[in-house]
Amino acid sequence: MTGNKAVAYIGKGSVEVQEIEYPGFVLHDGPGVNKANVGRECHHGVILRNIATNICGSDQHMVRGRTTAPEGLVLGHEITGEVVETGRDVEFVHTGDIVSVPFNIACGRCRNCKEGKTGICLNVNPDRPGSAYGYVDMGGWVGGQAEYVMVPYADWNLLKFPDRDQALAKILDLTMLSDIFPTGFHGCVSAGVTVGSTVYIAGAGPVGLAAAASAQLLGAAVVIVGDLNAERLAQARSFGCETVDVSQGDPKDQLNEILGVPEVDCGVDAVGFEARGHGRDSATEKPATVLNSLMDFTRAGGALGIPGLYVTGDPGAADEAAREGALSLRIGLGWAKSHAFTTGQCPVMRYHRKLMMAILHDKVQIAKAVNATPIPLVEAPRGYHEFDQGAARKYVLDPHGMLSRN
């Protein structure tokens, strides 16, 4: 039996690499594991040797202490790996396959899964619809920022890459299929982005940059990314985006300078519940700012895609309402402008194969867009720290040194 190193949340602002149990096909008790899931048998699963496992902004919310995540929770929901063991009931996935793992855990059997709503599977989390690896209140499935991880319902969940050598040659791009590329793409599709659209994307973190690349792939005429981090805005400009520095004031004024009108066709919120204000308020957390501003300058009849994370429990929020996820939204404005809103987890399986094909056939360079930066698993604490400080990078953990060989 081999060992298994993994990244665990150990308290506000801190993670560490720990030795944890090698995965098996039965769920054991542990930090964050739902008691109703303890003892659950997963002979439909596989064990992966992780090739790439990424640090996500959603992980940062937990590490900042902005959720109810318990100490000791093993992190990580962006997983790409090689199958090293298959469970008794697995038919179509085989040892040696290189696969992408959707961050949503889905059974493939419930009503929602059969309707393609894999982000809100009814059978994998006893508390609420929807689940993910290594995330608070998501059923307690062990996270994938590790050397090895168990993936349940493998025949349903896994996306197999068609050629091993081709996959390893493009692995930094393909590792984005587990979450941020489909999530950014979903935000754009939900916002109605199409050929000729003008698009405003709030947030130049990795999901925002992935959304910007997605908007370009969908044929947008102008893609504008707003943020207050100069390095991240420069990264957006590096692949052809216009940018708005929201610390300089109301984005509408800068939109007018770029487009000649103070509105866009489509709005995407890639910030979420830790949003700050604009202009002089940019140093202050104002969680409703992004959604309200998007309603203000998205055209009447337009749509908002909201891949940015919002939570029902935020112990670090500025007021009592926000601690329960209640924000002061100008819903009347959105109603008056007949806006459509799409929220929630991206159903990764709806998009990941198509986006895989776009990567494999050189239609998009998503790793370059998000500035994918491989680091060893043991350097995860540094990656978390630098990402939290605003580095314009998507940190990709390399548990077995396979990225450095490709």
Residues 63-121 have pLDDT tens digits of: 999 998 999 999 999 999 999 999 999 999 999 999 999 999 999 999 999 999 999 99
| Residue 260 CB contacts under 8 Å (≥ 6 apart), including other chains | none
Q: Is the pLDDT of residue 15 over 90?
A: yes
Residue 1 has pLDDT above 60, yes or no: no
Average pLDDT over residues 298-302: 98
pLDDT in tens, 127-154: 999 999 999 999 899 999 999 999 999 9
Distance between CA atoms of residues 81 and 313, nearest Å: 32
Q: Rounded to the nearest 5 degrees, what angle is found at the Cα of 307, between the Cα atoms of 301 and 308?
A: 110
CA distance 3 to 18: 11
Give the other-Cβ count within 10 Å of 45's Cβ.
28
Residue 41's pLDDT band (cuts 50, 70, 90): very high
Quote the percentage of the chain above a pLDDT of 90.
88
pLDDT digits (tens, 9 = 90+) for 311-369: 888 888 878 888 888 999 999 999 999 999 999 999 999 999 999 999 999 999 999 99
DSSP-derived pairing of the beta strands 222-227 and 242-245: parallel
| Calpha distance 383→55 (Å, rounded) | 8
Q: Is the dihedral of CA 357, 358, 359, 360 positive or negative?
A: positive
- pLDDT at residue 285 tops 90: no
Residue type at position 181: F
Residue ranges and CATH numbers for the domains of the chain are 5-179+347-405 (3.90.180.10), 180-342 (3.40.50.720)
Q: Mean pLDDT over all residues of the chain?
A: 95
pLDDT computed for residue 321 by the predictor? 86
For residue 406, pLDDT over 60 is answered with no
Q: How far, CA to CA in Å, does 67 sit from each of 11, 35, 39, 189, 321?
A: 11, 19, 26, 28, 15
